[in-house]
Amino acid sequence: MDMNDYQQAALRTAAPKEKYNELFHLLLGLVGETGEIAEKAKKIVRDKDSDFSQWDIEDLKKELGDTLWYVAVIADYFDVPLEDVAQLNIAKLADRQKRAMLGGSGDNR
């Protein structure tokens, strides 16, 4: 599926941008979904000796999908096509790799 097609499909289940506090709702939803992924990872560390091969992949796909939905809708909130987000991210990472700067910290490395 094309990223922009996904974004348009996701928007069919989103509240209108004009809804009171909608951006705040979306941001909290994104944090919540990523937190769910982290919580499940924590349980693998705690209960399964960090054996991530035991992760329920179907469940992971569902949680990643929920996260992607929020990213797509937040991007649309600012009239940003999801394809642009994806392309910019890949270009940024390729540039960092070319300069051997994938490690470390900071936005502008």
Average pLDDT of span 51-63:
96
Tell me the pLDDT tens digit for each residue of 30-56.
999 999 999 999 999 999 999 999 999
Q: What is the pLDDT of residue 108?
A: 67
Q: What token pair was written down for 31?
A: 């944090």
d(CA 68, CA 7): 9
d(CA 22, CA 74): 10
